């Protein structure tokens, strides 16, 4: 495996094999598998799980990592082509990224959406421009519209708990004080569709997922026997849910327009997941969230502290599945 | 050993065994003892010695560490229960800490005192709430009112230099422009009392150590044959001292009241340790301090640069004793 | 090797042997050579290449590193002797540096010029004061007026590409919005002179390199058969150049005087390296730069993106030569 950028780049069989490898390495660790290998980690945005679990994953396999955080101990990096660099950024990614790639055996990059132009972000303009500069194995640690490590961990989490392949997966919008990127909702609907689930996206008016994201998920559903639909009727969506996957994101009707987004958002504080959301769900219905989550804003304490919540297992599975990705990418290379 | 949170959790014999192990590993390193083991380090506050020596200690034993610093490359973490998280913190410790614990074999946490409510801080409310969330071995890297790694290193430092078990240990308040936490003075008086020393706390009026701290030290003294008393008469305290342990802390009479503290503090700039402090001390009397120290504010150059100062050895012993703690915690687990 | 602070501390034969070792380790890695060894890295200033490549170099040899960045997760460190520390810095380097040295097998320090007093900076007052406190092997990761790791990488880069030992090496001043330190120009002219090249420094009036730097380079040239001269006539300098080494630096006529520097600088935006700079150069003439570089400010895209540019190879060679330095310093110690 040279690149782990999007679950859509893989066949279902390949994902199954990767999850099988993850389970094997979890049971039978191989502490010397990546001895002498180096993973470079480039974070343009904050991180807790990714930062810790990527380092831990390399260490579990006997490898090493280094972390670069532009603006914190490192120069700010310019990403725009043709820029006349007389501002804050001291270095361009066209230099910085190939240099970092030359110091390691694989590189991981996190670069969130700009949040100004929807088409620009959906096209992964920024991430792709950087990816083109990397001649080593590359991992997407969350880009404008994707988060394959999270999606893979979520898939394994549902497998672990025997959530039915054809079960009902409700991705519900949740309240947050500010607009957040589309990376996780986009990755989650595609992953659930690819897993063969009945996917329902429940979100207020003005927060519909872009057609490009929905179409990609529908294409995956068509191959797996799943389905994908969208609704503003939360009550209806939650009926019979096997999974409620809560996620905050910005208004797509007002993308890049903070004031327009805020006007809609102000009325939506009731989209905080509470126990009563599970009233008509399947009895075993679980709560998923990629974390970080704002308690009592996006999800109430009563839900996060209940046995329905499997957010800890999702986070732990980040380590487990990434270990498999690193192994497959770097072992024997 | 599952937890290293407070020297008071151990018997004197156990501390002696730990120091013996530290000396053994210093002489005969075991560079593969913790191969494959991972230490997570969570720093809510700045660090130099702890940050470097914990990483170095793991590396000396063949293990690996990762460092998480909320607010620097990582989200700010909320610590209060029941918080409605619509402010700066993006994640709650109730999620963040179990997640980090799931990525490592042992976790170290540094979380200084809030400095607002004395009872809240003395009860270790904050640290204990986090400790409850950790199901892995846990190390206190300095909490509101404790610093066991420092205390253990100080103990070893005195043993190294054959400072008598029954010698006179003077903990003296020292000037600092701002109120600092009670963690080190609290840990130092308890440690010296547990070691069997004649402990004298010399501090200006308004800076008495809280009864809870003094009582704990007195209890340790009662078991070890030591003693503990407090005085505002510095000259008297310094007579015959074997150790002058300088430390800055905030007014306990005005805890959390910066203005009240500042009024007292303004008159106390003479509490800067100078050579003449040693005039009536024992001839071999040493100067100890946990570092960082402000030169010519808390302690004069003439003292820090003299052979009396053993602050470097204390700092070096942080590495030595922590290596033993990590070994005992993680070897064979 | 106990110290790697300045290429001038070594004979040409020793540099050749170091470069030979670098080539050998590049071809035949020794992934266990430094098992159990620890490198401490202390960065007073931002870094990308140095930060990543020093960690990668230790990892390639089986060793470990820790990174300390004063003011980011660590206290600010005071460097002035005799300071009354009632300001922002919580710790003095006289404590901090020996402590860090005691935790590792070798220490690397980066500390840029103060940029106020030229004599103070040229004398390496700051770096030398810190170096005196270190009783372990020490690496200069860029000081006020030196950058030996960069110089060694640049030397190897020219060897790799068979740039003639007696070829023409033009160090040209390049535009930057602010005055930058003299470390790289100083190290580059000395390195090229020591390599035996015909060195020409091309710079606007007011930006002459200080006599101390030129004299040191001339001394090296005298031993190697090279030469060193300086000119304000860029067109003349570029004729027949084998290497154009672009570098930004501050006015030496107005050192520490930002306004005076800015007045000169405002007229110098044409000193941005473009394709036409190579018109009368040797046909194989290459563009070198230590990075980071501001695109279209110091060097145009058309040059950086052309085959003339060997900046990536210079950066990659940082890893290669530093691995040799670390190996020679720490192997068998």
Render pLDDT for B169-214 as a digit per residue (tens, 0 to 9): 999 999 999 999 999 999 999 999 999 999 999 999 999 999 999 9
Residue B56 neighbours by CB distance under 10 Å: 25
CA neighbours closer than 13 Å in the CB half-sphere of residue B306: 16
Residue of chain B nearest A320, judged by CA positions: B103
Is residue B321 pLDDT above 90, yes or no?
Answer: yes
pLDDT band at A72 (very low <50, low <70, confident <90, very high): confident
Nearest Cα residue in chain B from A34 = B36
The residue among B73 and A70 whose pLDDT is bigger is A70
Give the one of A64, A74, A86 whose C-beta lies nearest to C297's C-beta: A86
Q: Which residues of chain C does B31 touch, with a Cβ-Cβ cutoff of 8 Å?
A: 35-36
User: Which residues in chain B have Cβ-Cβ distances shorter than 8 Å to C78?
Assistant: 295
The answer on pLDDT for A296 being more than 60 is yes
Contacts of A297 in chain B (CB under 8 A): 84-86
Give the helix ranges, DSSP H, for B66-182. Answer: 93-102, 118-122, 125-131, 148-160
* CATH annotation of C162-309: 3.40.50.1370
Q: Do B60 and C36 touch (CB under 8 A)?
A: yes
Res. B38: pLDDT tops 60 = yes
Tokens of C267: 């007229």
C-chain residue closest to B68, CA distance: C73
State the average pLDDT for chain A.
Answer: 97
d(CA A109, CA A146): 12
Distance from the Cα of B32 to chain C's closest Cα (Å) equals 8
> According to the model, what pLDDT value does residue B105 have?
98
Q: Does C294 touch chain A (CB under 8 A)?
A: yes
Judge: C43–A73 Cβ closer than 8 Å, yes or no: yes
pLDDT greater than 90 at residue C134: yes
DSSP letter at A209 equals P
Name the pLDDT band for C332 (thresholds 50, 70, 90): low
Q: What integer pLDDT is reported at residue C333 of this predicted model? A: 52
CA dihedral A199, A202, A203, A208 (to 10 degrees): 30
C68, C73, C102 ranked by CB distance to B315: nearest: C102
Q: List strands edge to edge, sheet with C198-202.
A: C227-231, C198-202, C168-173, C243-247, C286-288
CB-nearest partner of C95 from B31, B292, B297: B292
Other beta carbons within 10 Å of C260: 15
Facing residue for C99 by CB, picked from B69, B72, B312: B312
Contacts 24+ apart (CB under 8 A), B121-127: B121/B145, B121/B181, B121/B182, B122/B182, B122/B210, B122/B212, B122/B213, B126/B79
With 70 as the cut, is the pLDDT of residue B332 above it? Answer: no
SS3 B228: strand
Cross-chain residue pair B319–C95, CB shorter than 8 Å: no
- pLDDT at site A332: 66
pLDDT of residue B199: 98
Q: What is the CATH code of the structural domain delimited by C3-146+318-330?
A: 3.40.50.1370
Query: What is chain C's Cα-based Rg?
Result: 20
Q: A touches which chains (3+ CB pairs under 8 A)? A: B, C
Length of chain A: 333
Cβ contacts of B53 on chain C, cutoff 8 Å: 103
Nearest 10 degrees: Cα torsion A30, A33, A35, A41: -90
Paired with B138 in beta bridges are B3, B107
For A84-130, the pLDDT digits (tens) are 999 999 999 999 999 999 999 999 999 999 999 999 999 999 999 99
φ and ψ of C83, to 5 deg: -60, 140
The residue among C102, C104, C105, C134 with the most chain B CBs within 10 A of its CB, best to mutate, is C102
Cα gap A270→B85, rounded to integer Å: 14
Closest CA to C170 of C240, C225, C265, C224: C240
Q: What is the pLDDT of residues C24-51, one digit of tens each?
A: 999 999 999 999 999 999 999 999 999 9
The reply to whether residue C72 touches residue B72, judged by beta carbons under 8 angstroms, is: yes
Tokens (6 digits) for C326? 């670390």
> Given an 8 Å threshold on Cβ–Cβ distance, is B94 in contact with A304?
yes
CB contact under 8 A, C51 and A66: yes
The number of helices, as runs of H, and strands, as runs of E, in chain C is 12, 12
Cα–Cα distance, C52 to B218 (Å, whole number): 50
Q: How far does the CA of residue B103 sit from the closest CA of chain C (Å)? A: 20
- Answer whether the bond into residue A292 is a cis peptide, omega within 30°: yes
**Neighbouring C-alpha atoms within 13 Å toward the C-beta of B215:** 4
Query: Which of 46-85 (A) contact C at CB < 8 A?
Result: 64, 66, 68, 72-75, 78, 82-85
**Contact check, Cβ <8 Å, A292/B95:** yes
- Block residue for tokens 């997941």: A273
Q: Which of B85, B96, B104 lies nearest to residue A48, judging by beta carbons?
A: B96
Q: Is C43 on the interface with A (CB under 8 A)?
A: yes
- Common-topology check for domains A3-146+315-330 and A162-309: yes
Distances (CA, A) of B149 to B22, B47, B161, B163, C108: 12, 13, 19, 19, 26
Percentages of chain B per state (helix, strand, coil), in multiples of 5: 40, 15, 45
Q: Do residues A98 and A134 make contact, with C-beta atoms less than 8 angstroms apart?
A: yes
Q: Just give the CATH number of A3-146+315-330.
A: 3.40.50.1370
Q: What letter does residue C233 receive in the DSSP assignment?
A: -
C64 → closest Cβ in B46, B59, B67: B59
Annotated domain spans of chain B: 3-146+317-330, 162-309
Write the Ramachandran bin of B292: left for phi over 0, alpha for psi from -120 to 50, otherwise beta. Answer: beta
| Residue B307 at interface with chain A, using a CB cutoff of 8 Å | no
The answer on pLDDT for B223 being more than 90 is yes
Instruction: Give CA separation, B139 vs A316, B188, B287, in Å.
Output: 21, 18, 27
Residue A113, min C-alpha distance to chain B (Å): 17
Q: Tell me, what's the pLDDT at A333?
A: 52
Strand ranges inside chain C, DSSP E:
3-4, 38-43, 64-68, 77-78, 91-92, 106-110, 138-140, 168-173, 198-202, 227-231, 243-247, 286-288
Contact A95 C292 (CB under 8 A): yes
Question: Per the CB < 8 Å rule, is C56 touching A82?
Answer: no
Q: Do A62 and B92 touch (CB under 8 A)?
A: no
Minimum CA–CA partner of A81 in chain C: C301
| Bridging pattern class, strands C286-288 and C106-110 | unpaired
Of C40, C75, C94, the CB nearest to B52: C40
Partner C contacted by A135 (CB < 8 A): no
Torsion over CA of C121, C125, C126 and C127, rounded to 10 degrees? Answer: 100
| CA nearest to A179, candidates A240, A231, A114, A126 | A114
Interval B274-316: pLDDT, tens: 999 999 999 999 999 999 999 999 999 999 999 999 999 999 9
Kindly list the partner chains of chain B, i.e. chains with 3 or more CB atom pairs below 8 Å.
A, C
Task: For CA atoms C130, C131, C136, C142, give the dihedral sign.
Answer: positive
Nearest in space to B228 (alpha carbons), one of B247, B246, B208: B208
Confidence of residue C75 (pLDDT cuts 50, 70, 90): confident
Q: Is the pLDDT of residue B118 over 90?
A: yes
**pTM of this structure:** 0.97
Tell me the angle at which helices A49-60 and B93-102 cross, rounded to the nearest 10 degrees.
10
C301-320 pLDDT, tens digit each: 999 999 999 999 999 999 99
In this prediction, residue B73 carries a pLDDT of: 81
Determine phi and psi for C190, rounding to 5 degrees.
Answer: -65, -45
**Given A36, A68, A103, which is nearest C319 (Cβ)?**
A103
pLDDT at A71: 85
Burial of C224 (C-beta count, 10 Å sphere; 0-12/13-18/19+): middle
Of B51, B53, B295, the CB nearest to C92: B295
pLDDT band at A73 (very low <50, low <70, confident <90, very high): confident
The residue whose two tokens read 């092997």 is: C137
What distances in angstroms separate CA A254 from CA A201, A271, A304, C102, one per listed residue? 19, 19, 30, 56
- The verdict on C323 touching A (C-beta cutoff 8 Å) is no
Residues in chain C: 333
CATH architecture of the domain with range B3-146+317-330: 3-Layer(aba) Sandwich (3.40)
pLDDT at residue C188 tops 90? yes
Residue count (chain B): 333
Nearest CA in chain C to B57: C103
Distance CA C150, CA C114 (A): 20
DSSP B208: P
Give the gap in angstroms from C-alpha C76 to the nearest C-alpha of chain B: 10
Chain C residue numbers with beta carbons less than 8 Å from the beta carbon of A86 are 177, 294, 297
CA nearest to B74, candidates C72, A63, A93: C72
Give the number of other Cβ atoms within 10 Å of residue A94's Cβ. Answer: 23
Please name the residue of chain B whose CA is at the shortest distance from the CA of residue C91: B292
């Amino acid at each position: 495996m040279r690149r782990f950028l999007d679950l859509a780049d893989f066949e279902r069989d390949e994902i199954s094999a990767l999850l099988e490898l993850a389970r094997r390495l979890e049971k039978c660790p191989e502490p010397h598998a990546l001895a002498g290998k180096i993973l470079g980690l480039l974070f343009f945005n904050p991180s807790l799980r990714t930062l810790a679990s990527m380092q831990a994953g390399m260490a579990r396999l006997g490898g090493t990592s280094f972390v670069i955080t532009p603006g914190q101990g490192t120069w700010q990096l310019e990403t725009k082509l043709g820029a006349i660099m007389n501002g804050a950024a001291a270095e361009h990614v066209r230099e910085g990224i190939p240099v970092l790639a030359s110091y390691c055996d694989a590189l991981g990059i996190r670069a969130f959406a700009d949040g100004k132009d929807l088409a620009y972000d959906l096209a992964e303009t920024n991430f792709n421009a950087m990816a083109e500069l990397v001649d080593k194995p590359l991992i997407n640690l969350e880009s404008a519209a994707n988060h394959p490590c999270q999606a893979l961990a979520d898939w394994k989490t549902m497998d672990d708990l025997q959530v039915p392949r054809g079960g009902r997966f409700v991705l519900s919008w949740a309240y947050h004080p500010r607009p957040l990127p589309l990376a996780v909702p986009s990755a989650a609907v595609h992953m659930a569709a690819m897993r063969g689930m009945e996917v329902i996206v429940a979100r207020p008016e003005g927060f519909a997922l872009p057609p490009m994201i929905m179409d990609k998920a529908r294409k995956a559903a068509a191959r797996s026997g799943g389905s994908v639909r969208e609704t503003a009727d939360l009550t209806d969506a939650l009926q019979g849910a096997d999974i409620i996957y809560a996620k905050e994101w910005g208004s797509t009707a007002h993308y890049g327009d903070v004031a327009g987004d805020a006007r809609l958002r102000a009325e939506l504080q009731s989209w905080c997941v509470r126990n009563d959301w599970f009233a008509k769900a399947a009895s075993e219905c679980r709560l998923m969230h990629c974390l970080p989550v704002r308690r009592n804003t996006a999800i109430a304490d009563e839900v996060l502290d209940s046995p329905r919540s499997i957010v800890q297992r999702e986070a732990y599975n980040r380590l487990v599945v990434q270990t498999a990705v690193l192994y497959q990418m770097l072992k024997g290379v």
